[in-house]
């Protein structure tokens, strides 16, 4: 049996363009067979949960009832979410958390990448040290940071008191005003090595001759960076920022372990909030509605990610 893919047959391919989509599918029927196992797995582990979540988002699931006795409420869950104060606070937190974490992680990573790009003694060791935050377990790191920030026994507080800068150790994660910035610091600390690695890889592709040409043209170090290096890093920067943004939007471990969203929801972001609604308060319907909204937002991110990727590919083909 010979698989009919039509690839080896130019006249038939031409004919195919004229015929309908069904005929095309029929001509390529063996190709579908090859991807069928993968499609089946995807349907079971991805498509069905998505369908079930959407379905669930239209029901009310009181904790007193079993899940199968859920009550259809139409779009009430969505209306309730969009009109609640908590929703807007959590959304604001998520936006601040995502933008600040992404921005600072990227800038810090860029600085580290540029510093490590130069030859100096101990570069390898320093590079290994800087990667540590990214490779250690996020759970362990969260617990350690929780202790570092601790208002009674924390290292930072002890140092500040010891230096005489303050009388009492500051409240980092027990105060509604400082908890989110404190968590962002941990998050940036944890993920800047990722940006650093991405940008270091990008820096290696900056053509040496271009930098030399700029030197001869009279550009100083900063001008060389601005006119040659940075434009060259544009694609890798776009991808890095998008990946960071998606990861930050989806963050769970650090806020959940360090504060559980508290105090008073001041450090709740979408994911922790959804988790608490679903698994803490058994409000499956509302949690599902939240998830659907989150899904839509992340799909938008995904669209830009794919566009950035294909955009850089198009440019590479042109060059």
Partner 1 sequence: MAHVVLKELVKTYGAFKAVNDVSLTVNDGEFVALVGPSGCGKTTTLNLIAGLLPITSGEISIGDRVVNDLDPKDRDIAMVFQNYALYPQKSVYANLAFPLQMRKLPRDEIDRKVKEAAKVLDMTHLLERKPRELSGGQQQRVALGRALVRDPAVFLMDEPLSNLDAKLRVQMRSEIKRFHQDLKATIVYVTHDQLEAVTMADKMAVMNGGFLQQYDSPAQVFAHPVNMFVASFIGSPAMSLIPLETSTSDGNAVLSGAEGWRMDLSSLNARKVQRATTSKVVLGARHSAIRLHKSAVAGAIPARAYTVEPTGDVTFVQAMLSGAIVNISVPPDIAVFPDEQIWLEFDQDRMHLFDGATEMALNAD
Which CB, 29 or 212, lies closer to partner 1?
Answer: 212
Which CB, 9 or 217, lies closer to partner 1?
Answer: 217
> Which stretch in 47-55, 88-96, 193-201, 230-238 sits in contact with partner 1 by CB under 8 A?
230-238
Question: Is residue 217 involved in binding partner 1 (CB under 8 A)?
Answer: yes
Which CB, 81 or 228, lies closer to partner 1?
Answer: 228
Question: Is residue 121 involved in binding partner 1 (CB under 8 A)?
Answer: no
Q: Which residues contact 112 (CB under 8 A, 6 or more apart)?
A: 130, 192, 193, 196
Q: How far is the CB of 252 from partner 1 (least distance, A)?
A: 38
Please pick, from the candidates 3, 74, 181, 231, the single residue that binds partner 1 as defined by CB under 8 A: 231
Question: Is residue 209 involved in binding partner 1 (CB under 8 A)?
Answer: yes
Question: Is residue 219 involved in binding partner 1 (CB under 8 A)?
Answer: yes
Q: Which residues contact 275 (CB under 8 A, 6 or more apart)?
A: 252, 256, 287
Please pick, from the candidates 53, 215, 250, 282, the single residue that binds partner 1 as defined by CB under 8 A: 215
Residue with tokens 């998830």: 291
> Which stretch in 18-26, 188-196, 207-215, 262-270 sits in contact with partner 1 by CB under 8 A?
207-215
Question: Is residue 218 involved in binding partner 1 (CB under 8 A)?
Answer: yes
* # binding residues, partner 1 (CB under 8 A): 20
Cβ atoms of residues 63 and 282 within 8 Å:
yes
Task: Give the integer Cα–Cα distance in Å for 58 and 77.
Answer: 7
User: What are φ and ψ of residue 60, in 5° steps?
Assistant: -100, 135
Tell me the β-bridge partners of 59: 72
Cβ atoms of residues 138 and 254 within 8 Å:
yes
> Which stretch in 7-15, 76-84, 124-132, 228-236 sits in contact with partner 1 by CB under 8 A?
228-236
Which CB, 49 or 207, lies closer to partner 1?
Answer: 207
Question: Is residue 210 involved in binding partner 1 (CB under 8 A)?
Answer: yes
Question: Is residue 308 involved in binding partner 1 (CB under 8 A)?
Answer: no
Q: Which chain residues interact with partner 1 by CB under 8 A?
A: 207, 209-210, 212-219, 223, 227-228, 231-232, 234, 315, 318-319
């Amino acid at each position: 049996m010979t698989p009919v893919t039509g690839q080896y047959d130019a006249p038939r391919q031409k004919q195919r363009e004229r015929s309908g989509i069904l005929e095309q599918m029929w001509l390529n029927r063996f190709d579908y067979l090859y991807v069928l196992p993968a499609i089946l797995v995807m349907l079971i582990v991805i498509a069905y949960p998505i369908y079930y979540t959407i379905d669930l988002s239209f029901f009310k699931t009181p904790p007193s009832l079993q899940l199968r006795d859920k009550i259809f409420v139409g779009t009430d869950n969505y209306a309730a979410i969009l009109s609640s104060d908590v929703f807007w606070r959590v959304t604001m937190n998520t936006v601040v958390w995502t933008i600040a974490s992404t921005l600072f992680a990227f800038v810090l990573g860029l600085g580290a990448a540029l510093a490590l790009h130069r030859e100096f003694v101990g570069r390898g060791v320093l590079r290994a040290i800087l990667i540590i935050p990214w490779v250690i377990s996020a759970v362990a790191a969260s617990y350690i940071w929780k202790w570092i920030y601790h208002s009674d026994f924390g290292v930072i507080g002890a140092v500040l008191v010891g230096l005489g800068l303050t009388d009492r150790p500051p409240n980092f994660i027990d105060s509604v005003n400082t908890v989110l910035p404190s968590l962002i610091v941990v998050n940036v600390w944890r993920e800047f090595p990722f940006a650093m690695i991405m940008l270091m890889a990008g820096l290696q592709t900056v053509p040496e001759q271009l930098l030399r040409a700029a030197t001869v043209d009279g550009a100083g170090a900063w001008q060389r960076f601005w006119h040659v290096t940075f434009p060259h890093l544009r694609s890798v920067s776009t991808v890095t920022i998008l990946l960071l943004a998606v990861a930050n939007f989806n963050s769970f471990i650090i806020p959940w372990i360090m504060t559980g969203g508290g105090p008073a929801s001041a450090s709740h972001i979408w994911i922790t909030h959804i988790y608490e609604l679903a698994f803490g308060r058994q409000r499956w319907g509302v949690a599902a509605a939240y998830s659907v909204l989150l899904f839509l937002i992340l799909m938008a991110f995904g669209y830009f990610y794919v566009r950035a990727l294909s955009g850089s590919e198009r440019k590479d083909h042109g060059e």
